[in-house]
């Protein structure tokens, strides 16, 4: 966003001279000759800095300064005062002016003052942003995994991060790494030095969500004592992460669509168009396509987001990653708790790869952390693993992998058979005649195998 300057002076010649000077410097420039015009401009446009003449035909410069500050505390105001009027200048500074300059002035002096002011302003914004964001760490955005599915995800992300504006939709079950993927996209894109602003659409009531996203103007509602910037404004130049977008109400969905299409929006209670440069990344664990069919999600927004989709695969479909991630979390916890756990016992490994991980990587991470706290030994054993892991049956043949280095060698024929029978039975809701047909064996053989593998104990 180009910085914008408003020049307020009743002297038309001076006004036009300054207008030209600053426009040539690349600023967006507005001008006004009266106090009324001034207020109209700042109500309608986003202004970063105002050069304000102390003497205006309709009002006193100091009064207008107060009104400006009431409307938008963040606008910088530089007062232009008559040489003799030191007292007013002091008053202006006390009322929140950023600085003042005596008339007549050298153009260069004014330009320096403006540049310095805008620089300070952007530094202040930057510091605020860093405060807000200090928990997001760049180095934590690596997506680990060796499975073809996760390799594909990494390739997609690499491709997406080369694009600059395209919106992205990240889909996946809970705990599969959607937020991690959003971090990865942002931090490997050209926008990485700019903010990544996140919001969870399901965690905030609808009424607040709108002002969180778009900000509000003073007086937009009772508590709006001053203006506030929303997420899209704060993320200018960077990325907005809209988590759980499926929970967003249709009236906000259409506002989001508008930002994505025009890169403009208005603050709540505002009339001025604000232009931003942001990339939106949305995430959901819901089936948006179905929601569109059910009339719960706007079709146009869905199609807009669908241009780039990243599917985060569930952990149970990429068994190769389980032990690798488990090891990674062991190392993380070793550092955190100052321990020296080496890994897992064979039985523990088996339980980890067999389990279906409904809570995906997040659940795995929690299970490992818990086990690390419980263990005193060098290896984590089934004893430190939660009950659920000992309950389940492998529901997919590859689940029995226990050797990371070569998954195929880790599966015995018996394992395969047991797992396949178990799957078929589950799928057919334990209808044994259907299952025996599907498996191509007699009912008696099926019964025998169920007994042999203790499948009825599941
Ligand atoms: N491939 C991975 N490599 C390393 N860590 C991962 C990986 N996938 C997920 N994680 C970690 O697992 C945890 C859950 O990931 P994340 O919060 O991104 O998931 P999510 O899909 O947003 O979950 P939810 O739907 O519950 O919000 C995080 O701590 C994340 O760092
Ligand atoms: Mg999440």
User: How many Å lie between the centroid of ligand 2 and the Cα of residue 181?
Assistant: 10
User: How many Å lie between the centroid of ligand 2 and the Cα of residue 141?
Assistant: 13
Q: Which residue, judged by its Cα, is nearest atom 13 of ligand 1?
A: 362
Tell which atom from ligand 1 comes closest to the C-alpha of 365: 12
* Count of other CB atoms within 10 angstroms of residue 106: 9
The pick from 203, 325, 362 for probing ligand 1's pocket by mutation, whose C-beta has the most ligand atoms within 8 angstroms, reads 362
Q: Give the separation between CA 380 and CA 354, rounded to whole angstroms.
A: 16
User: How many Å lie between the centroid of ligand 1 and the Cα of residue 249?
Assistant: 25
Report CA 23 to chain centroid distance, whole Å.
Answer: 35
Report CA 132 to chain centroid distance, whole Å.
Answer: 13
**Domain 4-132 is in which class?**
alpha beta
pLDDT (0 to 100) of residue 83: 72
Tell which atom from ligand 1 comes closest to the C-alpha of 328: 4
User: How many Å lie between the centroid of ligand 2 and the Cα of residue 230?
Assistant: 21
pTM of the model: 0.66
For the chain, where do the domains classified as CATH 3.40.50.300 start and end? 138-312
Q: Edge-to-edge strand order for the sheet containing 49-53?
A: 28-32, 4-8, 49-53, 76-82, 99-103
> Which listed ligand is nearest to 362 at the C-alpha?
1
**What is the crossing angle of helices 320-337 and 346-354, to 10°?**
120
Q: Which residue, judged by its Cα, is nearest atom 9 of ligand 1?
A: 177
Tell which atom from ligand 1 comes closest to the C-alpha of 172: 21
User: Nearest 5°: phi and psi at 3?
Assistant: -65, 145
User: How many Å lie between the centroid of ligand 2 and the Cα of residue 243?
Assistant: 6
Sites in the chain below the pLDDT cut of 70: 129, 131-140, 392-412, 457-458
> Which listed ligand is nearest to 242 at the C-alpha?
2
User: How many Å lie between the centroid of ligand 1 and the Cα of residue 143?
Assistant: 9
For the chain, where do the domains classified as CATH 3.40.50.2300 start and end? 4-132
Tell which atom from ligand 1 comes closest to the C-alpha of 359: 26
The pick from 142, 179, 317 for probing ligand 1's pocket by mutation, whose C-beta has the most ligand atoms within 8 angstroms, reads 179
Domain 315-389 adopts which CATH fold?
Answer: Helicase, Ruva Protein; domain 3 (1.10.8)
User: How many Å lie between the centroid of ligand 1 and the Cα of residue 361?
Assistant: 6
Q: Give the separation between CA 383 and CA 235, rounded to whole angstroms.
A: 47
321 near 179, Cβ under 8 Å?
no
Residues near 418 by beta carbon (within 8 Å), at least 6 away in sequence: 394, 453, 455
Q: Which of 312, 314, 288, 310 lies closest to 301 in space, CA to CA?
A: 288
User: How many Å lie between the centroid of ligand 1 and the Cα of residue 177?
Assistant: 3
218 near 224, Cβ under 8 Å?
yes
pLDDT (0 to 100) of residue 204: 86
For the chain, where do the domains classified as CATH 1.10.8.60 start and end? 315-389
CA angle 117, 75, 191 (to 5 degrees): 75
First to last CA, the chain: 61
pLDDT (0 to 100) of residue 136: 53
The pick from 139, 168, 175, 328 for probing ligand 1's pocket by mutation, whose C-beta has the most ligand atoms within 8 angstroms, reads 175
Q: What's the token pair of residue 16?
A: 């036009």
Q: Give the separation between CA 16 and CA 344, rounded to whole angstroms.
A: 75
User: How many Å lie between the centroid of ligand 2 and the Cα of residue 272?
Assistant: 33
Q: Give the separation between CA 269 and CA 222, rounded to whole angstroms.
A: 11
Tell which atom from ligand 1 comes closest to the C-alpha of 179: 18
Q: Is the dihedral of CA 294, 298, 299, 304 positive or negative?
A: negative
The answer to whether domain 138-312 has CATH 3.40.50.300 is yes
Q: Give the separation between CA 368 and CA 328, rounded to whole angstroms.
A: 10
> Which listed ligand is nearest to 312 at the C-alpha?
1
Residues in the ligand 1 pocket, defined by CB under 6 Å: 143-145, 172, 174-180, 285, 325, 361-362, 365
pLDDT (0 to 100) of residue 49: 96
Tell which atom from ligand 1 comes closest to the C-alpha of 364: 12
Tell which atom from ligand 1 comes closest to the C-alpha of 321: 1
Q: Which of 191, 183, 197 lies closest to 138 in space, CA to CA?
A: 183
User: How many Å lie between the centroid of ligand 2 and the Cα of residue 204?
Assistant: 14
> Which listed ligand is nearest to 361 at the C-alpha?
1
């Amino acid at each position: 966003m180009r910085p914008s300057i408003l020049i307020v002076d009743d002297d038309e010649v001076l006004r036009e001279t300054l207008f030209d000077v600053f426009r040539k410097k690349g600023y967006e420039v507005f001008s006004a000759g009266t106090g009324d015009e001034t207020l109209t401009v700042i109500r309608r446009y986003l202004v970063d800095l105002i050069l304000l003449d102390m003497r205006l035909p309709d009002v006193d410069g100091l009064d207008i300064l107060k009104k400006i500050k009431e409307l938008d505390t963040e606008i910088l105001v530089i007062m232009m005062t008559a040489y003799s009027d030191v007292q007013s200048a002091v008053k202006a500074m006390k009322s929140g002016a950023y600085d003042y300059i005596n008339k007549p002035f050298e153009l260069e002096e004014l330009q320096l003052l403006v540049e310095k002011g805008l620089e300070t302003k952007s530094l202040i914004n930057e510091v605020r942003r860093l405060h807000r964001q200090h928990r997001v760490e760049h180095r934590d955005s690596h997506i680990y995994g060796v499975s073809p599915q996760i390799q594909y995800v990494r390739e997609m992300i690499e491709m997406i991060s080369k694009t600059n504006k395209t919106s992205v939709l990240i889909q996946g079950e809970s705990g599969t790494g959607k937020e991690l993927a959003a971090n990865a996209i942002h931090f490997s894109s050209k926008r990485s030095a700019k903010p990544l602003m996140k919001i969870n659409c399901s965690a905030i009531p609808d009424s607040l969500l709108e002002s969180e996203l778009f900000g509000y103007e003073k007086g937009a509602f009772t508590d709006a004592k001053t203006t506030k910037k929303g997420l899209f404004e704060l993320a200018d130049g960077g990325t907005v992460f809209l988590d759980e977008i499926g929970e967003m109400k249709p009236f906000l969905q259409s506002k989001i669509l508008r930002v994505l299409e025009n890169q403009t929006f208005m603050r709540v209670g505002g009339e001025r168009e604000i232009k931003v440069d942001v990339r939106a990344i949305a995430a959901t664990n819901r089936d948006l396509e179905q929601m569109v069919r059910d009339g719960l999600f706007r079709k146009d927004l869905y199609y807009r987001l669908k241009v780039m989709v990243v599917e985060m695969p569930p952990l149970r479909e990429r068994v190769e990653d389980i032990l690798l991630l488990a090891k990674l979390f062991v190392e993380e916890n070793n550092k955190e708790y100052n321990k020296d756990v080496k890994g897992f016992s064979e039985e523990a490994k088996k339980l980890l790869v067999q389990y279906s991980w409904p809570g995906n990587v997040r659940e795995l991470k929690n299970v490992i952390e818990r086990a690390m706290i419980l263990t005193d030994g060098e290896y984590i054993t089934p004893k430190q693993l939660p009950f659920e892991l000992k309950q389940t049956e492998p529901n997919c043949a590859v689940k029995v992998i226990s050797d990371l280095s070569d998954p195929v060698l880790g599966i015995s024929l018996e394992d395969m058979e047991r797992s396949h029978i178990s799957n078929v039975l589950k799928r057919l809701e334990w209808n044994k005649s259907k299952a025996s047909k599907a498996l191509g064996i007699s009912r008696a053989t099926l019964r025998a195998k169920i007994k042999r593998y203790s499948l009825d104990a599941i």
